[in-house]
Every structure is written in C-alpha cells, then in structure tokens.
Amino acid sequence: MISSSGSGKQGNGRRILQGMLLLASGRREGIACFQGTPDSFGAALAPQLALLLVGLFQAAMQPDKALGFTKLLLSLCVVLLPAVVSQFYAHKWGRDALWMRYITAATWCGWVVVLISLVATVLAGLLFPPLLHQPGFMASLMVTVSIYEMWLQWYVARVGLGLTRSRALLLYVSVLAVTLVLYGLAALLPPHYIVMQDLLQPMIAVKPSH
C-alpha cells in the first residue's frame, strides 16, 4: 500500500519539475508550481548540500587538505549567496511575502542549466562524436549555457518577486558581483585557489595533443 505521504512527495516532485520546465521556457505560471515554505526551500537545497557532503569526505582524503576545504567552503558560500542577497533586496523592496517561493524556484531552476549541458553533451557524443574533442565546442557550450542561465535567473527573479526588469537585473548582477569577489579572495589568499582553472578544465581536457 502506498502511503499518502509518499504519494504527496511524488506529486510535489512532478509539480516542481513542471514549474522548472515552464519557467525555463519563459512561462510565468511556472512560479505557482513551487511552495513558499522553509521545508520547500530546504528540499531545494538538499541536492546541493548532499554534493557538498560528498565533497567533504573527498577533501579529507586529499593530500592538500587546505585546498580541498577551501574549495568546499567556497562552494558552500556560492550555494547560499543567492538566498542572502535576494532576501536583502526582497526586504528592501517590500517583497518579503514572495521571497521564500522565489528562492525555492530559483534554486530548483539552477538544475535546468545542468540538465541542458548534460543533454547537449550526450547528444553531441551520440550524433557527432568528434565534437567532444574540439575545445571550441566546449567553449561554445559553456558560453551559451552561461548566457541562458543569466536570463533564466533574471526571469525567475522578475516573476517570482514581481520586479521590474531593471530591479531583477540589479538583483542578479549583485549576486554575480559578490560571487566574483569571493572568487577573487580565494585566489588572493592562501592556499590561492583559482576557480577559473576548474571552470576551464573541460576545455583543457579535450584539447588535442600534437
């Protein structure tokens, strides 16, 4: 016998997926698929926190533990940063009542970009295998996905918090600016972790040898 709680979780999962797809395609009604409760936000954060927990064990096993834990701490800050910055603006602009549902939707929609990247890579590997060995393909994919991510997060902020275009842009740029500051501090301070090296690793890995 299937419990009502299990059935409810499955239904909620379908609503979340539906909301992600609707917002990803530019349809504002997708925001209504998300709940605005602490539990719903916690569920949205759970996958990322689980990955960080795995990273904690990996960092403990690395020879350079200082670098491993620096990466982990930086990743945790980047995960929580959108919530902190957006809550500040939501309070400033009188959107407190809308904030919890917005940040839940924005957190889930972050996975849309991951899924798009994965699907694009798999399709390229199946249909045009040589593309995966071309640095230009990986660079183009990263740029395209990054631009789409900017639009999606801007759009979710606009719809979720009921903002004007300019305010939604300000919110997104603020999150981006603080993220870049954190990346800069990580590079300047010991153990001098340079984020761009990890971000560009896929292109370096497929660079053809001579």
Helix, strand, coil percentages, rounded to 5, for the chain: 85, 0, 15
Q: What is the mean pLDDT of residues 80-94?
A: 97
Q: What are the extents of the domains in the chain? A: 4-205
Q: Are 47 and 104 in contact (CB under 8 A)?
A: no
Half-sphere exposure (CA, 13 Å, Cβ side) for 188? 6
Q: What is the mean pLDDT of residues 14-42?
A: 96
Q: Are 178 and 184 in contact (CB under 8 A)?
A: no
Q: What tokens does 90 get?
A: 């939501």
pTM: 0.86
Per-residue pLDDT tens digits for 90-106 = 999 999 999 999 999 99
Which pLDDT does position 7 carry in this prediction?
A: 54
Give me the percent of the chain exceeding a pLDDT of 70.
90
Q: What tokens does 12 get?
A: 């909620």
User: Does the pLDDT at position 205 exceed 90?
Assistant: no
